[in-house]
Every structure is written in C-alpha cells, then in structure tokens.
Amino acid sequence: MEWSKLILGRSLVIFWCMALGLFLPEKVEARLRVVVTTTILADTVQQIGQNKVTVRSLMGSNPHHYKIRTEDIRHLSQAHLVIYNGLSIENGLKRVLSQLPKDVYLVDVSDCLPKKFLRSSHQFDGHHSHSHADNSCGYHYDPHFWLNVNHWMMVVRQIEKSLKVIDSSEAHFYHMSSNKYLGQLNELDQYIRFQSKKIPTNLRLLVTSHNALGYFGQAYGFETDGLMGTEGQEASIANLRRLSYKIMTQKLTTIFWDNTTSRKSMQALQESILSKGHKVSLAGPILVGGVLDSSQTLQSCDKHNHSTYEGMMRHNVDTIRVHLTPSKHDSN
C-alpha cells in the first residue's frame, strides 16, 4: 500500500514537471524575439509590440562606446527580428549583421526616411562628420535623426510594418498600438515646439559637446554647433577658439554637454570663454545617444521618465528652455 502511494506521488510530480516543461516555454516562445541596437529603438519596439515581444538592446545609452560581445552575436542569431538604426551607428556590427541566418528578418530603419530629410556632411561643415574608411552605407549622413520627432514617427510606422511581416496574425494589434503611440509622439512634437518658442530667436544657438542636435535644430528652430567632430575625436584648439569667438559675439550665456561625451571638454571651452571676461554657464546633460536604463538617474529637476524616448525628448527641450530663456532679472 505504501509503495503504491509512493509510486502515485512520484507519478504526479513527474506529470506536473512535464506539464510545466511543456506549456510554460510555449508562452515565452509565443513572444517575438526582437534584438535592436539602440535603447531608443528598444523603447519604441516595446511601445508597439507590448506583451507580444521580448526586446533586447545591445548598445546602451552611448552607441559610440559599444563593443560587440559573444553573447550579442548569439542573441542576434536567435532573433526573429533585428532592427538597427543605420547611417554608421552600427559600423562595428556590419560584418555580423551581414552574416546572420537567412531566417532572421533584418531592418535598417534609416531606409524609411527620404534622403532629402537626412543631413549630409556638408551641412555640418565637418564639425560632426561621421566619416569612415568604408564608403558604403551612407557614411556621409548624420545618424541622429531620432532627435526630430517627425522623423521618428516614420520609424514607428516602419517598425509596425516589420512586426506585421513576422507576426501577421497580430497585425491589427500592432496597428492599434502604433496609432496610439503616434498620438503620443504628435503631442510630444507640439510640446517641443511650444517650449522652443519661449526662447528668444537671437538666443536659439545650441552649442554642445559634439554637434549631434542638427535634426533637432532644423525641426524646432535652433542653430546648432559642437566642439567635437567624429566620435571619440578630441576637440581641436582651432575649433575651441572658433566656438569661443562665436559664443562671445552672439552673447550666448549657456552651453551644453551631452551624455555621449566627457563633460571635461565643455568645461575647457567654458574656462576659455570666462578667461576672456564673458560669463557663460555649462548645463546638461542633453540626452542624444539613447534613453537611460532604470539604474541611471539624472540630477535634474524635471520629472520625466528618462528611460523612454518621450521622456528623453521632454527632458532635452525643458533643459534647453530653462537655460536659454532669460530671467526677469536679466533685463534689469
């Protein structure tokens, strides 16, 4: 009798273990495995795919410092869908992306933007040229197009289409999610325009660590300039002098550092200007390379969620407005 109870008990344990082993993975596997390169893409895919997708981002909040890891290659190879920014951001990944299994659906979101919308190298005079030895993949275009919300809305539609290709049974779900998110982004675009208009036209000059805000400037009425050129390139003495003269001539009172470069370079520019008797403050960071993950925090007064694209953009325009809008005391 005891033996029969023991056997029955073990049988029940085995049954439930098999049930868990068989059925739980199916729920996980039902989600699309999507690998993206940037944190901004990760947030956008999650907004559209919601609980239908499992999203993995490779690069963190600073794509320029990314170095490929063995585990990244494994995740890329096992993905249903791989989405990347294009326009030189993923130069270190080009070879890996070209060798992925044929059943991995690969999407370059920059392809959805008409070339006339892209900033070419002559538009930023070499101060922020992303030139590389390899003359392929449109290296001469500025890749920071996400800083124009209207451009990113085109990317949202491209991601929606890509998800539909892989998971056509959920096409309606992706379409509705995309529409909802586009509504949020339209409100975001209006918010940025409203805040930007509070800044006097003669003060709408954004000087940052490196000139990544070109698309933002074109969309929202700012002139942009930067201390650094290509990623990781040290600021030249000539460019420091040029910017110092420009800032003093235009009587600019604030310059900005961004989260993809060291604050020290902009402090050097600030000190150079102060030594000439012109008062200028250093503010930031401006988030240009990606959203922050939940473990990263900013010492700022805004209440935005910096781990989302929307929160990142709201933080940027609020930071710019606060520091470029003259206070009432300035006129006295």
Q: What is the 3-state secondary structure (H, E, C) of the chain?
A: CHHHHHHHHHHHHHHHHHHHHHHHHHHHHCCEEEEECCHHHHHHHHHHHHHHEEEEECCCCCHHHCCCCHHHHHHHHHCCEEEECCCCCCHHHHHHHHCCCCCCEEEEHHHHCCHHHCCEHHHHCCCCCCCCCCCCCCCCECCCHHHCHHHHHHHHHHHHHHHHHHCHHHHHHHHHHHHHHHHHHHHHHHHHHHHHCCCCHHHCEEEEEECCCHHHHHHHCCEEEEEECCCCCCCCHHHHHHHHHHHHHCCCCEEEEECCCCHHHHHHHHHHHHCCCCCCEEEEEECCCCCCCCCCCCCCCCCCCCCCHHHHHHHHHHHHHHHHCCCHHHHC
pLDDT in the model for residue 138: 41
pLDDT in the model for residue 293: 61
Assigned CATH for 197-331: 3.40.50.1980
Report yes or no: 73 and 93 within 8 Å, Cβ to Cβ: no
CB atoms within 10 A of CB 177: 20
pLDDT in the model for residue 92: 87
* pTM summary value: 0.84
Q: How far apart are CA 90 and CA 256, in angstroms?
A: 26
Among 3.40.190.10, 1.10.1760.20, 1.10.510.10, 3.40.50.1980, name the CATH number for the domain at 31-191. 3.40.50.1980
Q: For 8, phi and psi rounded to 5 degrees?
A: -65, -45
Q: Which two tokens stand for residue 326?
A: 């003259």
Residue 248 CA from chain centroid, whole number? 32
Q: For 21, phi and psi rounded to 5 degrees?
A: -65, -30
Phi-psi region of 42 (alpha: psi -120 to 50; beta: other; left: phi over 0): alpha
Which residues, in sequence order, are bridge partners of residue 258?
286
pLDDT in the model for residue 121: 65
pLDDT in the model for residue 27: 47
Q: How far apart are CA 66 and CA 58, in angstroms?
A: 8
pLDDT in the model for residue 177: 99
Q: Which two tokens stand for residue 304?
A: 């935005």
pLDDT lower than 70: segments of the chain: 1-29, 121-139, 229-234, 293-304, 328-332
Collect all residues with Cβ–Cβ distance below 8 Å to 80 and sequence separation of at least 6. 32, 33, 34, 104, 105, 166
Q: For 144, phi and psi rounded to 5 degrees?
A: -85, 40
Taking the chain, what is the end-to-end CA distance rounded to the nearest angstrom?
A: 98
Q: How do 105-108 and 53-57 pair as beta strands?
A: unpaired
Q: Is residue 62 packed enough to be buried (19+ CB in 10 Å), middle (13-18) or exposed (0-12)?
A: middle
**Domain boundaries for CATH 3.40.50.1980 within the chain:** 31-191, 197-331
pLDDT in the model for residue 123: 58
Q: Per the omega criterion (within 30 degrees of 0), is the bond before 114 cis?
A: no
Which residues, in sequence order, are bridge partners of residue 34?
55, 81
Q: Which two tokens stand for residue 184?
A: 């949020």
